[in-house]
Amino acid sequence: MSSSTARSASGPGEVLVAEDLGVSIDHRNGSSTRLVEGLDLVIQSGSSTAVVGRSGSGKTTLLSVLGLMRPPSAGRLYIAGRDVGTLRPSVAAGLRNELLGFVFQNYSLVEHLSVFENVALPLMYGRRATRPQVRERVERQLTAVGLREFGRRRPRSLSGGEQQRVAIARALVRGPRLVLADEPTGALDTATGTSVMKHLQEATVEAGAALIVVTHDDALADSLHRRVDLSSREAAVAL
Ligand SMILES: Nc1ncnc2c1ncn2[C@@H]1O[C@H](COP(=O)(O)OP(=O)(O)OP(=O)(O)O)[C@@H](O)[C@H]1O
Ligand SMILES: [Mg+2]
């Protein structure tokens, strides 16, 4: 669907709608590389989507566009019914905190904070929760990923799989509409990765959010509802 008629809002249950979306990288010498062109995507709440493709095909860059960290180069993008294709950086940051959760390959936990404080971090920005609300939300998420007893520990004292489950709890603690994960199991062995993915899917569905996961792992991609393959598209066109 790459119609030219812009829609004003997405339908019920549609967390993200991309229409004719383009993603490109601008280089310092004035040239640019088009990584994604004409992407149409409708992401429903409670669904899970794998983004696959060879190294350099633009998976991480696409995720940063869907995650409101960089603007699309073409097309339209709606998240939770809002037109987010062109936003001022401060507005994008607010919406990111309100609507999105992120999980990265390397956990990105803050070392000098406890597990509890790491999970509570997203609640410290924007509309502030009360202390009892923070406690209740953090404990609910830690319980969902099987780490209820780990709140006082430091990230360094946890295994890689446990740290990634803390990152999942942090991504979900504010009740996001959409969780974006970039190779969340890339640093883990297969068995741990499978268990972390199970937590990510279950906790996301439980929270009523949608999930988009960038992965190189075919089995993992197969376990999700659908896949977007950037390699099979007309990708990486040098301009
Ligand atoms: N800031 C940047 N400046 C210049 N080129 C960039 C920049 N960011 C990404 N690229 C280039 O864009 C292309 C896509 O990068 P991206 O990181 O999105 O790929 P990927 O599909 O995530 O790859 P991988 O599987 O290796 O993580 C690569 O060729 C990369 O070198
Ligand atoms: Mg990448």
Q: What is the pLDDT of residues 61-89, one digit of tens each?
A: 999 999 999 999 999 999 999 999 888 88
Asked if residue 238 is part of any domain, the answer here is: no
CB-based burial label for 180 (10 Å; 0-12, 13-18, 19+): buried
Asked if residue 177 is part of any domain, the answer here is: yes
Q: Which residue's CA is the nearest one to ligand 1's atom 31?
A: 56
**Among 24, 26, 35, which residue has the most ligand 1 atoms within 8 Å of its CB, making it the best to mutate?**
35
Asked if residue 31 is part of any domain, the answer here is: no
Q: What is the pLDDT of residues 131-181, one digit of tens each?
A: 999 999 999 999 989 999 999 999 999 999 999 999 999 999 999 999 999
219: domain CATH number is: 3.40.50.300
| Pocket flag, ligand 1, residue 56 (CB < 6 Å) | yes
**Helix ranges restricted to H, the chain:** 59-66, 89-99, 115-120, 131-144, 160-172, 190-206, 218-222
Q: What is the pLDDT of residues 184-232, one digit of tens each?
A: 998 888 888 888 898 899 889 888 899 999 998 888 899 999 999 998 7
Asked if residue 165 is part of any domain, the answer here is: yes
Q: Which residue's CA is the nearest one to ligand 1's atom 5?
A: 25
**Backbone angles phi and psi of 49, in degrees to 5:** -130, 130
Round to whole Å and give the CA distance between 161 and 5. Answer: 45
Residues of the domain holding 145: 47-70+88-228
Asked if residue 149 is part of any domain, the answer here is: yes
Q: What is the CA radius of gyration of the chain?
A: 18
- As for how many domains the chain has, the answer is 1
pLDDT at 179: 97
pTM for this prediction: 0.90
Asked if residue 8 is part of any domain, the answer here is: no
| Pocket flag, ligand 1, residue 231 (CB < 6 Å) | no
Asked if residue 152 is part of any domain, the answer here is: yes
**Among 51, 59, 105, 213, which residue has the most ligand 1 atoms within 8 Å of its CB, making it the best to mutate?**
59
Q: Which residue's CA is the nearest one to ligand 1's atom 24?
A: 55
Asked if residue 202 is part of any domain, the answer here is: yes
Q: Residues within 5 Å of ion ligand 2 by Cβ?
A: 59-60
Q: How far is the CA of 76 from the centre of ligand 1 (A)?
A: 22
